[in-house]
Amino acid sequence: MSHTAHIPSHRKPRRSASKLALRAGVAGGVLSTIAVAGAAGPANAEPVTETIEMPTIGSLDTELSTAVAAAADASQQEALDLELRVQENAANVQAAKAAKKAKAEAERKADAERAEKARESQERASRTSARTSLSAGGSSYGTQQATGSAAAIVAFVKAQIGDSYVMGSTGPNSWDCSGLVQAAYRQANIDLPRISSDQSSMGRSVSLDSLQPGDILYWGSRSGSYHVAIYIGGGQWVGAQNPSTGVVERSLDWDRPSGAVRIL
């Protein structure tokens, strides 16, 4: 064993390198502050100290959360505003379409009323002309009197004058044109087809200058007629005309038929 083994060492223990560096840095900073202060003012001036508060991590998180929430609210409001504008535009488009449709319907009704008034005026003129013609010596269509089955047909259609017109109806208080003709011929025990084009294809064609009571008048082609009525004599016919007038009596001159057929 060495003779110096039990002699305590007089050397101070070593400090760690990190502690030495930290102290050196603090000292350097203090010296730098003193040097700057001395250079900036007189020797007897009091040193100026300034405290700078650095934001903490907690406050940064709070501000960031607030900013994100505000941005989300703004985006949601913008989306709601956009949706509202889309709905308003759609409502405006629908309103414009409805207004256009209503205007077209009003114009159509006005045209129909004008046309009906024109027909009524023409009818009055035709009746006046017919009366004048009869007073002068009779109608150009003669004054045939219905007899037998024709009389039953004529009497039936005359009894329905004033009934309403309903598409597809076959009586007893409302009719369409072919429904009335079919019911009239049933009085003579004759079964006619239901629709006007088939009815006008029955029997044989006759001239409008040689009509007899009970003949079927048609408008359109014989195999494709769109309207039929019953000739009652004296240049007059009875038919279910339209929803505005119902079953009426009219003269041949009011709306001249395309042709006629005779079944009796």
Output the pLDDT for position 54.
58
Superfamily of domain 141-262: endopeptidase domain like (from Nostoc punctiforme) (3.90.1720.10)
Whether the pLDDT of residue 139 is over 60: the answer is no
3-state SS string for the chain: CCCCCCCCCCCCCCCCHHHHHHHHHHHHHHHHHHHHHHHHCCCCCCCCCCCCCCCCHHHHHHHHHHHHHHHHHHHHHHHHHHHHHHHHHHHHHHHHHHHHHHHHHHHHHHHHHHHHHHHHHHHHHHHHHHHHHHHHCCCCCCCCCCCHHHHHHHHHHHHCCCCEECCCCECCCEECHHHHHHHHHHCCCCCCCCCHHHHCCCCEEECHHHCCCCCEEEEEECCEEEEEEEEEECCEEEEEEECCCEEEEEECCCCCCCEEEECC
How do residues 28-87 score in pLDDT, each as one tens digit? 544 444 444 444 445 455 555 555 555 566 667 787 778 888 888 888 888 888 888 898
Whether the pLDDT of residue 119 is over 80: the answer is no
pLDDT band at 21 (very low <50, low <70, confident <90, very high): very low
How do residues 89-110 score in pLDDT, each as one tens digit? 888 888 888 888 888 888 888 8
Whether the pLDDT of residue 162 is over 90: the answer is yes
Output the pLDDT for position 40.
47
Whether the pLDDT of residue 224 is over 70: the answer is yes
pLDDT band at 242 (very low <50, low <70, confident <90, very high): very high
Whether the pLDDT of residue 211 is over 80: the answer is yes
Whether the pLDDT of residue 240 is over 50: the answer is yes
